[in-house]
Structures are given as structure tokens and as C-alpha cells.
Amino acid sequence: MTARRAGLREQKKQATREALRTAALRLALERGPDNVRVDDIAEAAGVSPRTYNNYFPSREHAIVAAVTGEREARIAAAVADRPDGVGLADAVVEAIVDQYTAPDEPARDALLLITTRPTLRDAYVEAASAIEHPLTDAIAERLGDTDPHTARVLATSVAAAVRLALQQWLHATAASATAGGLVVPSGSLPDLLRATLAPLAPALDAAEQRARRHPHR
């Protein structure tokens, strides 16, 4: 009767996960991303190298996870929190923009690190896929659970659009990096996100109208 049902185990797992990604980012910042082996990360976190891959499927994932954190959960919550008066499209777009503008999000030097290495950039972009499932639930909630399939399609498409926006954003900043000057990667990501998600708004609106016309219960 100590902790919650099956709780202490999970707690420890989250602890090592946290230790791993923190160590990964710290080492990458200290030595540069190419001079940190997965063995180093494992050692710094006090686990075996093999265990590392029980937590992260690749070397890059840990570093990226240190930056992205629990963003997917926060986005889902943010969508759910918008008042019902707000249209679905606006709710989704603004929730996403908010989370990508969150105070701790930048972590300037970490993002700068990521932009330098192509494999890290890819992993960072790919990490946005994690919003798919939480977002599916959030959208399904808003649509009244009438059609889970539609919710999945929309969430998938939104996630894809977000990845596209991130890709273009990083590509732009990388290009301007070679052009000289310090590259604080703030070419207005919010604007880019909004512009990229805009074409999907009609699809979100249409789904919302349909749901309104066929209320579920």
C-alpha cells in the first residue's frame, strides 16, 4: 500500500528517462554532438549502454527529447482548454502556436545545437509526430466522438503540416547561418505555423459543421 497501483516502478522509469535525456543534452552541449557516444550518455546516467536503447530508439532521440519535453501532452490539454465558442480550427492552431512559443521552449543554445547537425534536425522535426495521438483524442472530444476516423485523419494531417513548417523554419535558419551572422532561430515560427496550417482550416471547419449537424447523444 505504498504508492499508487504499480506506481513506484513507473516513477523510477521516468527518473532514468529524465536522467538519460538530460545527460545527453548536457554532454552534447559540452563537447559538441559528434563527440558524445551513446556509451557516454549511458554512463553519465548510470545505466548500461544496452539499457539506453530500451529507453530511446536512437542516439538523437534522447537529445531531442530533452528539448521537446512533454509538449505533446501540453498541446492536447491546450486544445481541450479552449472555450467551446472558439472554432475547432482556431483552437487547434492557437494551441499549437502557443506550445511552440512556450517560455522554456527555445532553450537557445540547445536549438542552435540541433540546427547544426542534419540528423538532429530530422529527429527534431520527426518528434512533432508525437502530437498525433493526443491531438486525435482532443479533436475527437471536440467533435463529440461522432466519428473517430475523421478525428484521426485531421490530427494526422495537422501533425504533417506542423512537421512541414518546422522543416521550412529550420531550413531557413540553416541557410541564413551560412550567410553569416548569429542565428538565433527566430524567423517568426508562429507566423510560419499559422500560414502552414491555414489551408487545413476548411477541413477542420467542415468536420465541425458535420458534427454539429449530427450530434452524437
Identify which range of 11-19, 46-54, 105-113, 194-202 contacts its own copies by CB under 8 A: 194-202
Burial 44-76 (b: 16+ CB within 10 A, else e): bbebeeeebeebbeebbbbbbbbbbeebbebbb
CB of 203 to its own copies, least distance (A): 4
Q: What is the pattern of x (binds DNA, CB under 7 A) and - over residues 25-44?
A: ------------xxx-----
Query: Could you tell which of its own copies, DNA, none binds residue 211, using a CB distance below 5 to 8 A set by kind?
Result: none
Output the CA torsion sign for 146, 133, 69, 166: negative
Under the criterion CB under 7 A, does residue 7 sit at the interface with DNA?
A: yes
CB of 122 to its own copies, least distance (A): 12
Nearer to its own copies, 24 or 127 (CB): 127
Burial 84-97 (b: 16+ CB within 10 A, else e): eeebbbebbbbbbb
Q: In sequence order, what are the residues at sequence separation of 6 or more whose Cβ sits closer than 8 angstroms to the Cβ of residue 83?
A: none
Positions touching its own copies (CB under 8 A) are: 148-150, 152-154, 156-157, 159-161, 163-164, 183-184, 195-203, 205-207
